[in-house]
Structure 1
């Protein structure tokens, strides 16, 4: 007896990430403030309202919640999506009548197991390109662990309030906090000419030095350019950066080689990968000639591995040169770290391993002191950029690298 049941997949819908952030283990200083974290339980009987800015739009969406680093299952009681009041990033209020309930296999609640994620059912919800979206979550029990999943570098204001307020138009008395918790992705149906570009990086791509609620990280500014460019309006931008991240060794979160599968290759609709990471590897390795020679060699090997693994999934890979850090604590008097940066950048520029290279170093270095950032681009610490510097990076990227049709 044949037990095989044929399944028709010819009409299966293709989805693409229109927004995402990198899941990270929340450090103690980035946990929700009291009374939302106490006695080993986080966000018990709490409403969490968060806003994100998407890249491409659609008439439906799906949400992804991550418990990648949670120390216990994550019981989500209720979720709604809505338009923020006035379309404003970081808003605590939503537009009246815009809230829609999310379901998970037809249920209004879900439990995200340790190390797992959950994807919602499709939610009928009109979402324009580059629109802000409000996602409100209620957790009745909270998460029974001080180890929770978040993205600390949200550069966007979230709001916490005791009780269940998932459909409330406003949250008077809510506590503002600049982190995202649990929410890791928003997907929309991928129509013709729609595909995603993932950006693998550290705090320079996560936007340290950018404007809170300003959405002026360099991938945000590139997204604005892509939207208005011929043949690139359908490119979704997926920022998979984490402050303090390194390519080779764990630091603030798993190293880039370890997180590549989860943060890039497993995402929906990725057609391009942009790699801009490595300064933390150089800056945290010993300032000796031998140590810096080793880290430069290992970075080259790691970039090659990233290219090989992404190419195996049919993803084009673009590389960016490492920015200068003269005057920062990463700089050393003997110049061993600068020599390593130059060696790695020479390989990025000349190896031919990447499908294209964007010279970010050239875009923001000081012509009078090439081992340092331009003064008008420097956030003040000689390592991170300000919005002017992030604009320079976004403007340095040729749009034709992302032409979809």
Structure 2
């Protein structure tokens, strides 16, 4: 059960200050779902238990169906998250990264999920920001909530309900959540356990970029990359992406607890931004990877879209593959070296993952092979995960094994994602700093 009081601390937009700001006092949230209980001292350091990478939504008057957003003005958005490490004491990070206007939330609540849009009775707890239930963020800003005196369990679903301001729109999201989330009819439905008000479903997520917990001796492993880390074409609502399976492997190992955070964005590139597929990974690396509380290791799998998008035909209207920048193996290697330098400067281990087979034509396949050869032999990364070796067809190494192919010859099936997780050497993935 969630307790009835929250511990309030200074909210901070500067991530470097968040861990240093002390808790001030405890008081009840001003909302019907808030209840009273005695405050307690949380133990352990803050670590991100779940995270998601934000990306801009194309700004078009009449976007194609994939980029049409739900009407959220004055409604409650309920999103389901699965923390990958347990802890007591919770913070929710709200993000307006890439937002084109202010983000106003009049109330936020956390509850145990009861399946679908339903929540468990008596578990809803209000969230405050600097002691206030409402928060407004300028474009580009993000904020951690005040600590909530609550406990979360790794692998269990939790519902985060966010009541949007009366004129709020959604201008940034994470497009491929592989999780059904919900939008209510007009009104504040944050405290409701019934799913009846949440008729609108969508498979994106928005505004919440992390759920953080206090957990003694815990650390985090960040998986960052493109659609293959994002889990595109894995089973909806099943948590069958390779970072999910890696989290389960680490939990079964039974040593120090380690969160696994999925910061993949489908279509993402290492070197180039996209109107649809997010800021280039090397430019979002600081915030999305190195800025996660408790991060000790980052696994990088990116580059296949850099190789491919130069050959994609330009499209009138929304051209998601723009700019169609041609890259060489050297271009990608130089980009990886910049990531390595930044990770090491932050005291974080960085693991390079080989690019998986994608049935590329010969010229592009030669670039992929050259990049993989460098990842395997250069010793520039702290260690290597050979996803290519785990998935490729022995007779046709430019192709996925049939049993690991989701059907598009690029993205793995659920079994393929499981094979990727199994290929990660656990002794090289440390949740603690270098």
Q: TM-score, normalised by structure 2?
A: 0.82
Cα drift, residue 177 of structure 1: 1.0
Alignment partner of 1:302 is 2:327: no
Q: Secondary structure of 1:366's match? A: coil
Give CA-to-partner distance per residue, 1:198-231, whole Å, 9 cap, x none.
1111000000011111001000000001001042
- RMSD between aligned residues: 2.0
Change (3 A) 1:159 1:11: closer
| Counterpart residue number, 2:90 | 61
Q: Secondary structure of 1:372's match? A: coil
Change (3 A) 1:163 1:399: same
Cα drift, residue 361 of structure 1: 0.5
Q: Secondary structure of 1:341's match? A: helix
Cα drift, residue 295 of structure 1: 2.1
Alignment partner of 1:339 is 2:362: no
Selected match of 2:353 from 309, 320, 327: 320
| Counterpart residue number, 1:44 | 73
| Counterpart residue number, 2:423 | 396
Distance (Å, rounded) in 2 between the aligned partners of 1:389 and 1:117? 35
Alignment partner of 1:207 is 2:231: yes
Cα drift, residue 294 of structure 1: 4.5
Cα drift, residue 376 of structure 1: 0.6
Matches within 5 A, 1:238-253: 238-251=261-274, 252-253=277-278
Give CA-to-partner distance per residue, 1:307-340, whole Å, 9 cap, x none.
00000000001011001111xxxx22xx110111
Change (3 A) 1:292 1:83: closer
Cα drift, residue 347 of structure 1: 0.2
Range with bigger deviation, 303-312 or 132-141:
132-141
For the 8 Å contact 1:216–1:390, the answer to whether it is kept is yes
Distance (Å, rounded) in 2 between the aligned partners of 1:172 and 1:10? 40
Alignment partner of 1:23 is 2:54: yes
Q: How many residues align?
A: 372
Cα drift, residue 31 of structure 1: 3.6
Cα drift, residue 240 of structure 1: 0.8
Matches within 5 A, 1:1-400: 14-27=45-58, 28=63, 29-33=66-70, 36=71, 43-85=72-114, 88=115, 91-143=116-168, 148-161=171-184, 162-173=186-197, 174-192=199-217, 194-232=218-256, 234-251=257-274, 252-286=277-311, 294-326=327-359, 331-332=360-361, 335-400=362-427
For the 8 Å contact 2:221–2:431, the answer to whether it is kept is no
For the 8 Å contact 2:306–2:325, the answer to whether it is kept is no
Distance (Å, rounded) in 1 between the aligned partners of 2:161 and 2:326? 48
Distance (Å, rounded) in 1 between the aligned partners of 2:431 and 2:260? 13
Distance (Å, rounded) in 2 between the aligned partners of 1:21 and 1:189? 19
| Counterpart residue number, 1:40 | none
Give CA-to-partner distance per residue, 1:280-329, whole Å, 9 cap, x none.
01111349xxx999521100001111000000000001011001111xxx
For the 8 Å contact 1:50–1:158, the answer to whether it is kept is yes
| Counterpart residue number, 2:3 | none
For the 8 Å contact 1:293–1:340, the answer to whether it is kept is no
Distance (Å, rounded) in 2 between the aligned partners of 1:385 and 1:404? 26
For the 8 Å contact 2:297–2:430, the answer to whether it is kept is no
Change (3 A) 1:293 1:169: closer
Q: TM-score, normalised by structure 1?
A: 0.88
Distance (Å, rounded) in 2 between the aligned partners of 1:108 and 1:398? 44
Q: Secondary structure of 2:293's match? A: coil
For the 8 Å contact 1:46–1:142, the answer to whether it is kept is no
